[in-house]
Structure 1
Amino acid sequence: MQTLPTLIDKSRLHDLGDGFVVRRLLPVLTARHLGPFVFYDHMGPTDFAPGKGLDVRPHPHIGLATVTWLFDGSIRHRDSLGSVADITPGAVNWMTAGRGIVHSERTPPEARMRGQRMHGIQVWVALPRDHEETEPAFHHHDAQSLPRMRQPGAELVLIAGTAYGHASPVKVFAPMFLIEARLDAGAELALPDEHAERGVHVIEGEVAWGDLGLMSAQMAVQAGAPAPAVRAKTNSRVMLFGGAPLDGERHLWWNFVSSSLERIELAKADWLAQRFAKVAGDEEEFIPLPV
């Protein structure tokens, strides 16, 4: 990656059903990863009619942690550890897959009955090589537990990692940061200087990052010092993220992330043979291994 911010201009759209569209921003050829982030989805916004909702059937992961952050709506998480938690705006679901976990993501029954707007992001964070086979875990952090910061014309929530002298309670495995920032028109915000790689994703509004202009749903990435400040051209909501460079390349295949192709082949065989644990309370369905 170049020192100057570089636009991610090859995002892909995926329709998950009932009009729920996901924009995949990472990985792309020009940015396979940024810090430990190897996958970045912008979900919605989508308005579900009453009776409709999200139904991501049980599926496996290895070698990563998933982070769900919502602006609108709710998602019920269930996993093979027995965890059950509804993620709502301002709270964090952090799931460490490690050596292997299975989970489902569905609209809770009450929200499905009344209909809801769904809007958020989901990211995958690659685990360091020496933690790829760690024990799976799931942690839910409510909104009150996350550091909130004010700067001139800016309100920030530190979702995970460290930034601006603060640390999130979310357990991470490598230096990183993930922030939601609300910026008033004209406000400038310096990016955290302790992290070598940085990204900016505009959720709403319009910003300038150095000489690069970014509109809603656009992302740019940057590495090296110094990093230019982000300046809001309008009232804006942006996600800021990044961290230390990965400790080596990662292979991504379906829902599996690993530094080893052989490990991914083993995970494929285990899922095909249904050797992964079941999701308690959601045992009847699963997503088959892609062919």
Structure 2
Amino acid sequence: MSERIITKVATPKVQTEGGGFLVRKVIGTVIPTCDPFLMLDHIGPVEYKPGEALGAPDHPHRGFETVTYVIDGEIRHQDSAGNSGVLKPGWIQWMTAGKGLIHSEMPTENLINNGGKVEGFQLWINLPAKEKMIEPRYQDIPSEKIPVAKTADNKVTVKVLSGESLGVSAVIETKIPIIMLDIHLQPGSSFTQHVPLSHTGFCYVWRGAGFLGSNKLPVHMGQVGVLSDKGTEFHIHAEETKDCHALLIAGKPINEPIVNYGPFVMNTQEEIDQAIEDYRAGKLGQIPGEAERVRQTEAAQALNKKNKNNL
């Protein structure tokens, strides 16, 4: 069996997105893209005081999928098709935007009133041309229904968000082959994952520290390693004195032209122009209560600014 090395280690900067929440843009800046992956944001970790919690008010999507994985905090999501719900710690939402909709992701009333810790991820996955205008679809999976695999020595735990690991398969159905694993290694432990030769991928350490690939490049919290395009076995090792939490994400490239404009990802400029026109014409719909979500966001932004100025 051939092994994959890490060809690049990068450290994304902390910046603001949406209403002003803190993110590390793992894919999308220091690593522009990793076909089929368009973006990975690491949201937080941040501790909000009462009234400070921020979200992403009403915004459109077309032509790709968004994956939201919550570590801490709660997110209330709503869309123009009438879907709504609350994502809690450990939950994952796999949204296929397809032909498009309006979506909002906001803090819950509990988080707004009481404050608390927020951390999570949002991954954007491209769709092939034949799937870009399909009907939108949601897969909301609570924490207790996410399959978990463990190594024989019980020192490595793997949440199988999509794909397969250690003989355990995910419950999420994907449009193209995708592996998405949340791996927790105890100090000094090691883990090997089979990654098909056809897949590109990356590994992001979101807590702790370790060594990636057969070349054992050192990484720490907030760093990402890009997998080589040769080999089928990927290795990760935790430091001797620290746990390592990492997201391993890999998928089969689509290899099609990409033209994107903000929340629209299509194959041609004409398709982007049509998406903008459809959005402006209201064809992607709307969500009742938009003004209140904007007011809530502006109030939280003002309080955050005030609290920072008082430090």
Contact map agreement 1:78 1:282 (CA 8 A) in 2? no
Shift, 1:55, TM fit: 3.0
Shift of 1:168: 1.5
Shift of 1:128: 2.0
Identical-pair percentage = 26
- Matched residues in 1 for 2:274 and 2:43: separation? 30
1:40-92 Cα offsets, whole Å, 9 max, x none, are 00100111111221231111011111111111111100011111111112111
| 2: CA distance, partners of 1:28 / 1:20 | 17
1:17–1:262: structure 2 CA closer, same or farther, 3 Å change rule?
closer
1:1-291 residue pairs with structure 2 within 5 A? 4-9=5-10, 11-16=12-17, 20-28=21-29, 30-34=31-35, 36-151=36-151, 152=153, 153-194=155-196, 196-209=199-212, 210-222=215-227, 223-233=229-239, 234-282=242-290
Q: Distance in 2 between matches of 1:75 and 1:142?
A: 13
Write the deviation string for residues 145-197 of structure 1: whole angstroms up to 9, x where unpaired.
Answer: 22100013200101123333332121210001111111011111112233622
Q: Is the 8 A contact 1:65 1:96 kept in 2?
A: yes
Structure-2 residue corresponding to 1:289: none
User: Aligned residue for 2:303?
Assistant: none
- Deviating more after overlay: 199-208 vs 7-16: 7-16
Q: Is the 8 A contact 1:62 1:132 kept in 2?
A: yes
Contact 1:200 1:240 in 2 (8 A): yes
Cα separation, partners in 2 of 1:6 and 1:267, compared to 1, 3 Å: same
Kindly provide the amino acid, as one letter, of the partner of residue 6 in structure 1: T
Q: Given the two structures, how large is their TM-score scaled by the length of structure 1? A: 0.90
**Closer/same/farther in 2, CA of residues 284 and 273 from structure 1, 3 Å limit:** farther
1: CA distance between counterparts of 2:44 and 2:11?
18
How far off is 1:127 after superposition? 1.3
Tell me how far apart the structure 1 counterparts of residues 20 and 284 of structure 2 sit (CA, whole Å). Answer: 31
Tell me, in whole angstroms, the C-alpha distance in 2 between the residues paired with 1:169 and 1:237: 22
Q: Conserved in 2, the CA contact under 8 Å of 1:162 and 1:168?
A: yes
| Code of the aligned partner of 1:14 | Q
Change (3 A) 1:147 1:99: same
**78-87 or 5-14: bigger deviation:** 5-14
Larger of the two Rg values belongs to structure: 2
Q: Is the 8 A contact 1:18 1:53 kept in 2?
A: no
* Letter of the 1:198 counterpart: G
C-alpha displacement of 1:15 = 2.0
Q: How far did residue 224 of structure 1 move?
A: 2.3
SS in 2 for 1:205: strand
The Cα of 1:228 is off from its aligned counterpart by 4.0
Contact 2:19 2:56 in 1 (8 A): no
Q: Quick one: distance in 2 between partners of 1:85 and 1:32?
A: 30
* CA drift at 1:250: 2.0
CA gap 1:17/1:82 in 2 versus in 1, 3 angstroms: closer
Amino acid at match of 1:272: R
Distance 1:6 1:52, change over 3 A: same
Structure 1 regions of 5+ residues with no counterpart?
Answer: 287-291
Q: Conserved in 2, the CA contact under 8 Å of 1:8 and 1:25?
A: no
Distance 1:215 1:21 in 2: 19
SS of the residue corresponding to residue 170 of structure 1 reads coil
Give the 3 Å change call, closer, same or farther, for CA 219–249 of structure 1 in structure 2.
farther
